[in-house]
A and B are shown apart, each in its own frame.
Chain A
Amino acid sequence: MWCTKSAAERVYLVRTLISMSIYVLVTAIVSWIFAHRHPQGALVYLLAVLPALPIFAVIASLGKYLVEEKDEFVRTVLVQCSLWATAVVLAFATCLGSLQKYVPSVNKSPGLQNYWVFVVWFLAFAAAQPLVRWRYK
């Protein structure tokens, strides 16, 4: 399977894996600091921003892959998948916003928080790939 991937795709997968690993690690560390060290002042804002930085790296990695990939069909599939993922995540964020405003218990639920938005985008992006490819069969 690995050998059937283009050089650009292999580089993209490595870049994305590294960026996602950093995202998970930073999110875990920041969550631990908030839970156990109770930071205050400017440090709170700095810590809140840190998990968002690897997200730029993940999206930049996808953008670089779109430039480097020579197979135009693969590029088309990727663009469609990212649009599907964006649609899903915008719908998710809109629903979440309504629930947070009108259902007070949602704000206390750790499973329904805004920081899941990126995870939802990434999962939707992955899930869209076989579906989009299936449409071209």
Chain B
Amino acid sequence: MKNRLRVLRAEKNWSQADLAERLEVSRQSVNAIETGKFDPSLPLAFRLARLFEMTIEQIFTDDGST
């Protein structure tokens, strides 16, 4: 699943560690989600959406691979 997390994080001038702290997850989790190698659960996707004040669809794009 593709996402715009890296761009959105850069716009806020946050490091991966900053975002991880706000989400209460590890920095490796943020990196794995950003690279598209780990798809977050629905609750974590909602937390991300709330944090960036967007909808889940504005952050994540279903590339139809799964």
Tell me which residues across on chain B come within 8 A of A4, comparing CB atoms.
26
Q: Are A71's CB and B35's CB within 8 A?
A: no
Residue total for B at the interface (Cβ-Cβ under 8 A): 14
Q: Is the CB of B37 within 8 A of A136?
A: yes
In the assembled complex, the Cα of A73 lies from the Cα of B26 at a distance in Å of: 8
Chain A residues within an 8 Å CB radius of B35:
136-137
Instruction: Specify which chain B residues have a CB less than 8 angstroms from the CB of A136 in the assembled complex.
Output: 28, 31-32, 35, 37-38
Q: Does B41 contact A (CB under 8 A)?
A: yes
Tell whether, in the assembled complex, residue A72 and residue B41 are in contact, meaning their CB atoms are under 8 Å apart. Answer: yes
Known contacts A76-B38, A135-B37, A136-B37; A70 and B24 CB within 8 A of each other? yes
Interface of A is mostly: helix
Complex interface residues of chain A between 46 and 102 (CB less than 8 A to chain B): 70-74, 76
Number of interface residues of A (CB under 8 A): 12
A133, CB-defined interface residue at 8 Å: yes
Residues of A contacting B29 in the complex (Cβ-Cβ under 8 angstroms) = 71-74
- Closest-by-CB residue of A relative to B43 is A72
A133 to chain B: which residues have CB within 8 Å?
28
In the complex, chain A residues whose CB is within 8 Å of the CB of B26: 4, 6, 71, 73-74
Closest beta carbon of chain A to B44's beta carbon, Å: 6
Interfacial residues, chain A to chain B (CB-CB below 8 A): 4, 6, 70-74, 76, 133, 135-137
The 5 closest A-B pairs by CB, nearest first: A73-B29, A136-B32, A71-B25, A136-B37, A71-B26
